Structure 1
Amino acid sequence: MTKTTAGAALALALIAVAATLSGCSMEQVSDGKAKHKSFALTGRQLTVVTGDSRLELVPVDREADAAGTRQLDVTRWFKASKLNGKVGADWELEGGDTLRLKVTCKGLMVDCSARHRVEVPRDVAVDVRSQDGRVSASGFSTPLSIRTADGDVEVRGAGADLKLRTADGDIRAEKLRSRSVSARSQDGSLTLGFREPPTSVRTESQDGSTTVTAPRTPYRIRTDTADGSVDVSLPRRKSSPRSIEATAQDGSITLRGS
């Protein structure tokens, strides 16, 4: 028996013992129904800090009030049950520009799932810092930065500078109009698709394949892989003002035209 299997068996045994001793069933703490809250956002920069939750970002039209603030709308779905542990969810806006979405799910017998949807004023740049959970964003025309320690990253239709990082998960960005894109995946595949020719693209992958699809115009291209194949079908030109640099430690690199 492997260490992982033995650990899982031990955990299940402990849960069974706890349930027998308590003689109780799991208590539902939150029913998972949607809850809404609005915040007063100041400035044109938003930082979102989250963990243990799926996160969806959507740009929307919002007019500023007399004080120059605009409404930031958040919807939360949180479902949790526990027998012996601590569960809960909280949200707050610090300093008018930092949204903290906190989910607590600790204990021997707990069961939680969480999802947040954040509607962001359309002209606000966004910086996301996620510990655990999938992050998706669609339709942003302002700078967007997403960093997650554990979870997939999905972006669609971005039109400004884009920075994507994940330590454990896949990155997929499609229908991009961004001129500058930087993407790095520690453990997972990396896929970028462009509707318009980018000016600068830089990708890094430690363990996973890299695929970049872009309009067929000449690029300055540099690829480097320690263990994997390289397939480039995009036009090359050393004097081109457009560049694509792709590095992979262990995985294939594909650069192709759309």
Structure 2
Amino acid sequence: MVLRARRVVRLSALLAGVVVAGSGLTGCGASPDDAAPEDRTFTVPGKHLTVDSDNSELEIVAAAADERQVKVTRWFDGWAVGGSAGASWDVSGDTLTLRMHCTGLTVNCAAKHRVEVPRGLSVTVKDDNGAVTARGIGTDLTVSSKNGPVTVRDAGGALRLSTKNGSIDARTAGSRSISATSRNGDISLAAGRVPDRIEATNDNGAVRIDVPRTPYKVDASSRHGSVDIGVPRDDAAARTLTARSRNGSVEVRPHG
């Protein structure tokens, strides 16, 4: 696919006319699955890593136990007519910045990144547009997405998850504190151990929370949807569950 895109660009450069967007080039869609992976390692000072991405699918995973550097694998595919197509990665301080640079009369670009995080680093992810998946992060994790789903597996630290347009699906191994907010998309949270606090707030979508069976102080409500609470309730309990939706069902279920 990349080679075909390059042939199209070279051919267009020979034409002495004006290239009109949508003139047939849109049939050659960019896909990161067609691209060869590129690897690079970065040194990050301190105990925190921020990943700042604009248009990319992100996978954040725990690195091997003895790894001390952040390893990034990138898949990028794209073409541009009357401009340029490329991607960049850079670290400044504790921030890893991932960008696509695609400009022209007609462009088609796509990227995905896998970031391997050394154990012991807490992580903040800021993504403008794209799905975010995090696996095996044992430290505190914050993920915010403007447009895309957020998926978390085997988390061990405090979670703060938000998306303006997308679902949130988190399954934790030992997180004591979980916060999830979505404006448009379902929220599904499951705690592997008894949490101290879970708070899920949704503007437009369902909320489901699965927790170990024990008494909780529960605050659950929905303006337009059913509310189903299956865990023991105790207003004096130290452990709290908050589940609210403006437009969608709310369900709190026990397991174990």
Same fold (TM over 0.5): yes
Residue identity matched to 1:154: T
Residue identity matched to 1:99: L
Distance (Å, rounded) in 1 between the aligned partners of 2:22 and 2:92: 42
SS at match of 1:157: strand
Q: Check conservation: 2:76, 2:109, Cα contact below 8 A.
A: yes
| Residue matched to 1:8 | none
Q: What is the CA distance between 1:63 and its match in structure 2? A: 5.0
Residue identity matched to 1:91: W
SS at match of 1:51: strand
| Residue matched to 1:9 | none
Q: Check conservation: 1:188, 1:207, Cα contact below 8 A.
A: yes
- 1:202-251 Cα offsets, whole Å, 9 max, x none, are 11100000000111111000012111110111111111111001111111
Distance (Å, rounded) in 2 between the aligned partners of 1:132 and 1:16: 23
Q: What is the CA distance between 1:87 and its match in structure 2? A: 1.8
| Residue matched to 2:21 | 15
Is 1:37 the counterpart of 2:18? The answer is no
Identity %: 37
| Residue matched to 1:71 | 69
Q: Check conservation: 2:156, 2:172, Cα contact below 8 A.
A: no
Q: What is the CA distance between 1:15 and its match in structure 2? A: 2.8
| Residue matched to 1:162 | 159
Distance (Å, rounded) in 1 between the aligned partners of 2:130 and 2:105: 21
Which of residues 91, 94, 98 is equivalent to 2:92? 94
Distance (Å, rounded) in 1 between the aligned partners of 2:226 and 2:194: 24
Distance (Å, rounded) in 2 between the aligned partners of 1:78 and 1:247: 39
Distance (Å, rounded) in 1 between the aligned partners of 2:115 and 2:132: 11
- 1:11-40 Cα offsets, whole Å, 9 max, x none, are xxx534586xxxxx97x9x96210011111
Which of residues 217, 221, 229 is equivalent to 1:220? 217
Which of residues 246, 249, 252 is equivalent to 1:252? 249
List structure 1 runs of 4+ shifted beyond 6 angstroms. Answer: none
Residues 233 and 153 (structure 1), Cα distance of their counterparts in 2 relative to 1, 3 Å cut: same
SS at match of 1:41: coil
Q: What is the CA distance between 1:84 and its match in structure 2? A: 3.3
Q: What is the CA distance between 1:195 and its match in structure 2? A: 1.1
- 1:76-120 Cα offsets, whole Å, 9 max, x none, are 00011222343210000012x100000123344222110000111
Is 1:51 the counterpart of 2:51? The answer is no
Residue identity matched to 2:147: D
Normalised by the length of structure 2, the TM-score is: 0.85
Residue identity matched to 1:90: S
| Residue matched to 2:82 | 84
Aligned-residue Cα RMSD (Å) equals: 2.1
Q: What is the CA distance between 1:72 and its match in structure 2? A: 1.1
Q: How many residues are treated as equivalent by the alignment?
A: 233
Normalised by the length of structure 1, the TM-score is: 0.85
Structure 1 unaligned spans of 5+: 1-13, 20-24, 65-69
Q: What is the CA distance between 1:169 and its match in structure 2? A: 0.4
Task: Describe how 1:124-203 pairs up with structure 2 within 5 A.
Answer: 124-203=121-200
Q: What is the CA distance between 1:134 and its match in structure 2? A: 0.4
Distance (Å, rounded) in 1 between the aligned partners of 2:110 and 2:120: 31
Distance (Å, rounded) in 2 between the aligned partners of 1:106 and 1:187: 30
Q: Check conservation: 1:32, 1:80, Cα contact below 8 A.
A: no
Residue identity matched to 2:195: P
Which of residues 100, 104, 110 is equivalent to 2:101? 104
Residue identity matched to 1:253: V
Residue identity matched to 1:53: S
